[in-house]
Each structure stands twice: as C-alpha cells, then as structure tokens.
Amino acid sequence: MHKTVTTKGRTSLNRRTFLGRASALAMTAAVGSAMLASGARAQTAVKGGTLKMGLGGGGSTDSLDPALAANPVTFHLMRTLGEQLVDVTPDGQLEMRLAEEVESDAEAKVWRFKIRQGVTFHNGAVMTPDDVLATLERHSDEDSQSGALGIMQGIETMRVDGDWVEVTLTTANADLPYLMADYHLQIQPNGGRDDAAAGIGAGAYKIVAQEPGVRYTFEKHADYWDSERGHYDAVEFLVINDATARMAALQSGQVHIANLVEPKVAGLLNRAPTLEVKSVSGRGHYVFVMHTDTAPFDNADLRLALKYAVNRAEMVDKILQGFGTIGNDTPINAAYPLFDDSLPQRTFDIEKAAEHYKASGHDGSPIVLKVADTAFPGAVDAAALFQQSAAAAGIPLEIQRVPNDGYWSEVWNKEPFCASYWGGRPVQDQMYTTAYLSTADWNDTRFTNAAFDDLLLQARAELDPAARTATYAQMGAIVHDEGGVIVPMFNDFIEAVSNDVQGWVTDGGGDTMNGLAPHKTWLAS
C-alpha cells in the first residue's frame, strides 16, 4: 500500500497515484485559496445566533434521502445535515472528513479508508465502519435511485477491516477518493437502510422541523466532532423559488444569504450598503438536455441542428452579463484537471442548423422545450433566445413554461427536452460517470454509447497524465458530436450576502461556499 500523509485534515497524495491533481486543481481556485490563507482563517469565529438562508430551486416533493438529492435546496440540505468520508477544499485539495486517512495500492485499484473514531450521529449513535460500508452498499443498489449510482458501479467489492473500509475497483481509478466527496454519499446510521429520509446524519446541524418547498429549521448538533465548524446555534432555510421575492427577502433582512442571484440584478444588489454580491467561476454549467432515446431527439441530425441553432455568445452576453463563459456542448471546461482545449468551438450557424434539420426528416411539428425559472437563473429568457435563433434556421421550437414546484421531480430527467443546471464535479471522471455513463441513474440525456463507456474505463485505469488527458479529449468529442446535451454557457456561482455574515471563503465547487456556508461562516457580534 502507498499510504497517504495527513496534516490538519488534509492529505498530500502520491503524485503518481493522483496525476498531479493538487497542482492542476489549485489553478481553478487561486482566489479562494488566497482568501482562505489570508482572510477567514485569521478571523475569530463568533459563536451563536441563527443563520437564515433564502434558497431557490426546491419543491414540495423534496426528500431528505441523500440518494435523491437533485436540486439546489436538497444539495444544501445534504451539506448541512451530513458528512462524507472526504471533501474537496476550495483550492482543490482532498480533505479528510469522516475518514482520517486514505491509502491505495500501487495500481490505484484497492483503496482503504480509515474511519474516524468518536463521531456521533444526530440520533446519538456512534458511527462505525459498518455504517460506512452500509452507506456505500445502499448507494450501489439500483433500487436506491442514487445520484451516486454511476460512481458506485465501478466498485467490485467492499469490506470492513477493523477501523478501515476497503474498496476494490473493477478497474484502477486514481480519482476514487475524489469520487467519495460526492454530496449524495452522506454517511448514515446503518447506511440509511432503516429510514433513509429521516434526516439523520453526522453534520454540524440536525433538522428539527421541515416543510418541503417552504421551510427547514436546524439546531446545532451538540456532539458534532469538528470544533472548527458549526458556529451557529440554529440555521433556517426558506425556500423562495421566485428570484424577485428571494432578493426582496435579502434586502429586507428576512434572510442573510440568497443563492442563485440573476446576473441582471447582481450589480444593483451590490450597490446596497448592507449587502455584498459574491461570485466565483467554476465547473457549473447551464444546459438544455435531450433524451437521445426519444423521438425526435433520437435523430443525430436533429440534435446537431439544435446545437448549431444556439447563439452561445448572445446567451452569455444577455443572460450571464459577464458572469460566465461560452460552453461547447460538453460538461468539461478549463476548470477541470487534465482539460484539453483542442476541441473546436461550436458556433451559431444558421446554414448548418438548417442543413441538419432538413437531413433529419423532421415533420415540422413543434419541438417542445420545457423550462422554469428554477432550472437556472435566467432560464426562461435563455429559452426565448433559443427559440428566436432556432426560428432563423427554420426550426419550430416551442417553449412551454412550467411551474417551479415539482420541476426537479417531474420534469428534469423525465421529460425528453428541458432546461437544467449542473454544478459540475471536482474531476472529469466523476462528471462523466454521474451523467454520461450509459447505466448512470442521472444520465439525463439517455446517452448510450459503448465507445464512450469503454473510454471512461480506460481513462480510470490510465495513470499517465498525458495519456489520460488524450482519452478524456476523445470522450469530450463524442459527447460534443453525438450527445444529447446542449451546453451554451458555464456560469459563475453568484450569491448575495449580508454584511453581518463573516468568514466567507470563495469556493468554486458550488453555491454558497459549496454548500458549507452554515458550517463555516458566523454572524458578526
């Protein structure tokens, strides 16, 4: 085994095993790491008070089952209630959480996690390696409908060995510890098998009341294991899907933090003397997803017609207003390690769009795109722009605006063409495995490509960075040319925060400090 060296909860991993991951990822969050070093850590946290957050992207059908977390609100719920074995820091380092150490064999095929002692769940039970094993096993079960199923399908066997949980992979994977940072993989008592939706985790806050789609309240977990986190006495989430109402709640002092700030109002909010707009670039992207197994999107020419009919530059300019970059119909951008920039940028091309549309043989009936405000900030406006540019190519795109409530449970991953949002993942393997592997539960384009699947396994087993980069480039080209995802733009994460909130650390991993604002911030005294 190649044992890791752990220091203050972080791990410096074997370079051969991790392909220079630390240096590659550090580029994506230079600002965040600088702030971490010079800002928040130098301040003294104030204990007490209640943090109130106004969150968009929730619904009345939301569950506390980590496996089913699929929107911004449930993402925040998981990050507040739970802990994974490991996490990823703002500067891209692996951080030990419920695991104290990680080690692997030389081939990166057998991985061992030493489970932290003395961790207590919200129900008073002490966490054991058996709880960890049961959690991983549950998320490996197709019946769990877990968003982490694609990740877990790469595991051949798992077992408990004293204080360690050992994972043996079907093929080598140098990224395996990073995959364990997936927010679905919250460690639960008995793996959640008794009641996965009970909201019992090991995070800094335990839930005391919930009204899905409306409000969640938490109190500090008295036996929380990490004294450097969880400064509030209580936390409250108000689900406010309407963007205008969410910003009004922030400006009136009803909440301290509001997520999913629309770029068109960010500048206005930033002028308010009591507020500050926080933005950071990362791996998040706004998308339109087509089911490649459902007519008319099972036709490759029709998919290409729609891809060429998107004016990406216009969308970035009018929707993001400088808070993001142009996408290229893959989920990967330069924020990822081992990124290859050789893929030609797809541009708006009316002639090519019309050519592919004609070649598709489509009957001219309306092509229905379903969208709601909750899909991503500015989604309805983006769909309107898409409709206009498609019309110029003779493509009859029909926009159907649907309610925010129920969008993530009834529209996304069910309707054949809709708007969606991905926060991205720390490494390419995790992003591709979660959403593009043929057997993944969250394959929201129904993309099935044997060559792509084979390349994914090949990339996992490849320990040479150059060779792995080349393989990822091939995979990106397949998704770009054959996939059902349209990626017009990569978004910055934009939040508006009261000046009363202290300890903010820029984190490109996701909304509101990658969901850890309740854990890491505090209110000024």
3-state secondary structure of 52: strand
* 450 CB neighbour count, 10 Å cutoff: 8
Beta bridge partners of 149: none
The tokens of 279 are what?
Answer: 């933005």
Q: Mean pLDDT: which of 89-93, 265-269, 496-500 is highest?
A: 496-500
Model confidence at 14: pLDDT above 80: no
Tell me how far apart the alpha carbons of residues 507 and 27 are, in angstroms, rounded to a whole number: 12
Calculate the average pLDDT of the chain.
92
pLDDT band for position 366 (cuts 50, 70, 90): very high
Average pLDDT over residues 415-422: 97
Instruction: Give the residue from 323, 332, 329 showing the smallest Cα distance to 345.
Output: 329
Instruction: Give the residue from 110, 117, 103 showing the smallest Cα distance to 172.
Output: 110
Least confident of 17-21, 300-304, 343-347: 17-21
Which domains, from first to last, does the chain contain? 36-82+203-281+493-525 (3.40.190.10), 83-195 (3.90.76.10), 285-491 (3.10.105.10)
Average pLDDT over residues 93-115: 96
Model confidence at 24: pLDDT above 70: no
Instruction: Give the residue from 178, 123, 101, 31 showing the smallest Cα distance to 508.
Output: 31
pLDDT of residue 463: 85
pLDDT of residue 1: 53
pLDDT of residue 291: 98
Least confident of 142-151, 300-309, 481-490: 142-151
Contact (CB, 8 A) for 408 and 59? yes
The pLDDT > 90 percentage for the chain reads: 88
pLDDT band for position 92 (cuts 50, 70, 90): confident
pLDDT tens string 278-328 = 999 999 999 999 999 999 999 999 999 999 999 999 999 999 999 999 999
Model confidence at 8: pLDDT above 60: no
Least confident of 3-12, 78-87, 400-409, 477-486: 3-12
The pLDDT > 70 percentage for the chain reads: 92
Contact (CB, 8 A) for 203 and 516? no
Model confidence at 40: pLDDT above 60: no
Residue pointed to by tokens 């692997």: 104
pLDDT of residue 38: 37
3-state secondary structure of 222: coil
Average pLDDT over residues 29-55: 65
pLDDT of residue 401: 98
Predicted TM-score (pTM) of this structure: 0.88
Name the percent of the chain in helix, strand, coil, to the closest 5: 35, 20, 45
Model confidence at 30: pLDDT above 60: no
* 76 CB neighbour count, 10 Å cutoff: 28
pLDDT of residue 43: 78
pLDDT of residue 39: 42
Model confidence at 16: pLDDT above 70: no
Tell me how far apart the alpha carbons of residues 212 and 15 are, in angstroms, rounded to a whole number: 44
Contacts of 173 (CB under 8 A, 6+ apart): 108, 109, 154, 179, 429, 460, 461
Tell me how far apart the alpha carbons of residues 480 and 250 are, in angstroms, rounded to a whole number: 39
Start-to-end CA span in the chain (Å) = 49
The tokens of 422 are what?
Answer: 């991905």
Tell me how far apart the alpha carbons of residues 503 and 4 are, in angstroms, rounded to a whole number: 30
DSSP string across 126-185: BP-HHHHHHHHHHHHSGGG--TTHHHHTTEEEEEEETTEEEEEESS--TTHHHHTT-TT-
pLDDT tens string 147-166 = 999 999 889 999 999 999 99
pLDDT band for position 5 (cuts 50, 70, 90): very low
Average pLDDT over residues 129-150: 95
pLDDT band for position 33 (cuts 50, 70, 90): very low
pLDDT of residue 20: 42
DSSP string across 81-110: H---SEEE-TTS-EEESSEEEEEE-TTS-E
